[in-house]
């Protein structure tokens, strides 16, 4: 069955890119998108008809010469990834085939896609919103299970659902406000306004605040969790790092002040990427190099999601935040909150505790929706504007609708509806070519 009608293709030119990784492989997928995709695919395949969404085996030919045998798949607009007509050529994955196909496509007037251009077209054609597109990048980049799950939820429109809810609450409030301004008796306006719009604004504010509280967690899942090992010189920090990762990554010695540079080691805990940092022992020192190490150690201690403070006589007690781990490095049998860094006695308990912390604090079932700095920035601006609307309700009604519109604009930006070229360029340049 062939599709008879060519459904509205956008004005853009037709692009192509290799969608699979380059290098030697069994199969390589070359993807074409745009108004010419179908006709160019037809002329490469002896003009035999292509049925929608049916894989067919065809000889690819250019200027009379056979290039390859390929599976050809046609997705007529608008039911495709980009919303334009898309053709996939599944050819053999050698450098020579890929080059010959690319040359043929270029000679047919197609253009090599820029990074993220397929997804950008999908967003521009309303096939997905910006946050779903970001979920897609995260899914492609996911290295652990936790990241994969969060990315899939984002791709399924989790954040979209949330901001659509905020938007509808704001629109309800706006409708009340504008209705009241039109009809109410001058004297009654402020009271009537606050009465009708307040519950909507309250609900939106509560939702935004809750999402922002969870945001650190969402970003931690994307970028990984940082755990800093801190303590006095000679506490056994480097010895502990080596035990945790089971490799000799950091130099240890009886000399106080051995570690200066931050030594990092990576692991996966509870499905999330975790980076442990071993840091210089914290003390005042006149040695300029060690002092720089201590400065870096303090900075890392402050930035990390979690600190393990290792104590050995004399114990120091510094840079701790809520929920951190304090461990005594002891000889012989270990009790709760103790470890023997040299023998590894107590290490299993520490790892259990870390697994528990990572899974409850960072991957809980109520996982985060705001997963990027960009999301947090838009949501904060929307929250500030909504709070301002609520403050103005009883006192300056003329400002309320202006505030609500500002909140709606911030949400549009979050959705990628604001269509600001610059924002689009920045986001899509993070994609790889072929996506």
435 annotated ligand binder: yes
Residue choice 340, 363, 367, 401 for contact with ligand GTP (CB under 6 A): 340
Residue 236 lies near ligand GTP (rule: CB under 6 A): yes
- If the CB atoms of residues 207 and 293 are measured against Mg ion, the closer one turns out to be 293
- If the CB atoms of residues 64 and 333 are measured against ligand GTP, the closer one turns out to be 333
287 annotated ligand binder: no
Q: Which residues in 10-35 are b (16+ Cβ under 10 Å) and which e?
A: bebebbbbbbbeeeeeeebbbbbbbb
Minimum Å distance from CB 355 to Mg ion? 25
Minimum Å distance from CB 266 to ligand GTP? 19
User: CA dist 290 to 74, 241, 329, Å?
Assistant: 64, 19, 23
Residue 386 lies near Mg ion (rule: CB under 5 A): no
Region of 255-263, 351-359, 383-391, 417-425 interacting with ligand GTP (CB under 6 A): 255-263
The entry of Mg ion, ligand GTP, none that residue 169 binds, CB within 5 to 8 Å by partner kind? none
Residues 295-334 that bind Mg ion (CB under 5 A): none
31 annotated ligand binder: yes
Region of 2-10, 160-168, 248-256, 419-427 interacting with ligand GTP (CB under 6 A): 248-256
- If the CB atoms of residues 131 and 258 are measured against Mg ion, the closer one turns out to be 258
Q: Exposed, middle or buried by CB within 10 Å (0-12, 13-18, 19+), for 150?
A: buried
Residue 277 lies near ligand GTP (rule: CB under 6 A): no
Region of 237-245, 314-322, 379-387, 423-431 interacting with ligand GTP (CB under 6 A): 237-245
Residue choice 256, 289, 395, 396 for contact with ligand GTP (CB under 6 A): 256
94 annotated ligand binder: no
Q: How far apart are the first and last CA of the chain?
A: 29
The entry of ligand GTP, Mg ion, none that residue 256 binds, CB within 5 to 8 Å by partner kind? ligand GTP
- If the CB atoms of residues 85 and 258 are measured against Mg ion, the closer one turns out to be 258
Minimum Å distance from CB 297 to Mg ion? 10
The entry of ligand GTP, Mg ion, none that residue 254 binds, CB within 5 to 8 Å by partner kind? ligand GTP
Minimum Å distance from CB 238 to Mg ion? 3
- If the CB atoms of residues 125 and 279 are measured against ligand GTP, the closer one turns out to be 279
Residue 176 lies near ligand GTP (rule: CB under 6 A): no
Site string for ligand GTP, 215-234 (x = CB under 6 A): ----------------x-xx
Q: With helix as H, strand as E and coil as C, how does the chain read? A: CCCCCCCCCCCCCCEEEECCCCCCEEEEEEEEECCCHHHHHHHHCCCCCCCECCCEEEEEEECCEEEEEEEEEEECCCCCCCCCCEEEEEEEECHHHHHHHHHHHHHCCCEECCCCHHHHHHHHCCCCCHHHHHHHHHHHHCCCHHHHHHHHHHHCCHHHHHHHHHHHHHHHHHHHHHHHHHHCCHHHHHHHHHHHHHHHHHHHHHHHHHHHHHHHHHHHHHHCEEEEEEECCCCCHHHHHHHHHCCCCCCCCCCCCCCCCCEEEEEEECCEEEEEEECCCCCCCCCHHHHHHHHHHHHHHHHCCEEEEEECCCCCCCCCCCCCEEEEECCCCCCCCEEECCCCECHHHHHHHHHHHHHHHHCCCCCCCCCCHHHHHHHHHHHHHHHHHHHHCCCCHHHHHHHHHHHHHHHHHHHCCCCCHHHHHHHHCCCCCCC
Minimum Å distance from CB 248 to ligand GTP? 11
Angstrom distance (rounded) from CA 95 to CA 231: 53
- If the CB atoms of residues 222 and 237 are measured against Mg ion, the closer one turns out to be 237
Residue 340 lies near Mg ion (rule: CB under 5 A): no
User: CA dist 193 to 171, 201, 207, 387, Å?
Assistant: 14, 12, 21, 15
179 annotated ligand binder: no
Residue choice 176, 259, 363, 401 for contact with ligand GTP (CB under 6 A): 259
Residue 309 lies near ligand GTP (rule: CB under 6 A): no
Binding site for ligand GTP (CB under 6 A): 231, 233-239, 252-254, 256-259, 280-281, 329, 331, 340-342
| Residue ranges at the known binding site for (6S)-5-formyl-5,6,7,8-tetrahydrofolate | 31, 88, 127, 435
Question: Which residues are annotated as part of the binding site for GTP?
Answer: 234-239, 253-259, 278-281
| Contacting positions for Mg ion (CB under 5 A) | 237-238, 258-259
């Amino acid at each position: 069955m062939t599709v008879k009608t060519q459904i509205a293709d956008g004005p853009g030119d037709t692009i192509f890119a290799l969608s699979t990784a380059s290098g030697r492989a069994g199969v390589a997928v070359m993807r074409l998108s745009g108004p010419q995709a179908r006709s160019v695919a037809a002329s490469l395949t002896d003009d035999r008809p292509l049925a929608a969404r049916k894989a067919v085996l065809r000889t690819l030919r250019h200027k009379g010469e056979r290039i390859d045998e390929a599976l050809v798949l046609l997705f007529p607009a608008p039911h495709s990834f980009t919303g334009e007509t898309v053709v996939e050529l599944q050819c053999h994955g050698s450098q020579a085939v890929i080059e010959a196909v690319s040359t043929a496509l270029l000679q047919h007037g197609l253009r090599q896609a820029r990074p993220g251009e397929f997804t950008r077209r999908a967003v521009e054609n309303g096939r997905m919103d910006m946050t779903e597109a970001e979920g897609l990048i995260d899914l492609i980049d996911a290295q652990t299970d936790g990241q994969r799950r969060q990315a899939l939820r984002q791709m399924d429109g989790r954040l979209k659902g949330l901001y659509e809810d905020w938007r509808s609450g704001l629109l309800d409030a706006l409708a009340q406000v504008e209705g009241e301004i039109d009809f109410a008796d001058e004297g009654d306006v402020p009271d009537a306004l606050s009465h009708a719009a307040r519950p909507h604004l309250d609900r939106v504010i509560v939702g935004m605040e809750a999402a922002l509280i969870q945001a650190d967690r969402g970003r931690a899942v994307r970028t990984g969790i940082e755990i800093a090992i801190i303590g006095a010189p000679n506490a056994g920090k480097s010895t502990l790092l080596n035990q945790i990762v089971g490799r000799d990554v950091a130099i240890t010695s009886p000399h106080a002040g051995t570690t200066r540079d931050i030594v990092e080691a990576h692991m996966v805990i509870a499905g999330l990427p975790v980076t442990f940092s071993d840091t210089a022992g914290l003390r005042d020192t006149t040695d300029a190099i060690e002092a720089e190490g201590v400065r870096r150690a303090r900075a890392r201690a402050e930035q990390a999601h979690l600190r393990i403070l290792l104590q050995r006589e004399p114990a120091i007690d510094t840079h701790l935040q809520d929920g951190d781990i304090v461990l005594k490095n002891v000889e012989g049998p270990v009790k709760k909150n103790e470890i023997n860094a040299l023998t590894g006695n107590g290490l299993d308990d520490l790892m259990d505790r870390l697994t528990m912390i990572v899974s409850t604090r960072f991957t809980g079932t109520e996982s985060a929706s705001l997963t990027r700095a960009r999301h947090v920035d838009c949501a904060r601006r929307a929250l500030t504007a909504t709070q301002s609307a609520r403050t103005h309700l009883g006192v300056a009604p003329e400002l309320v609708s202006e505030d609500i519109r500002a909140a709606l604009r911030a949400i549009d930006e979050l959705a990628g509806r604001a269509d600001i070229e610059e924002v689009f360029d920045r986001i899509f340049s993070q994609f790889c070519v072929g996506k």
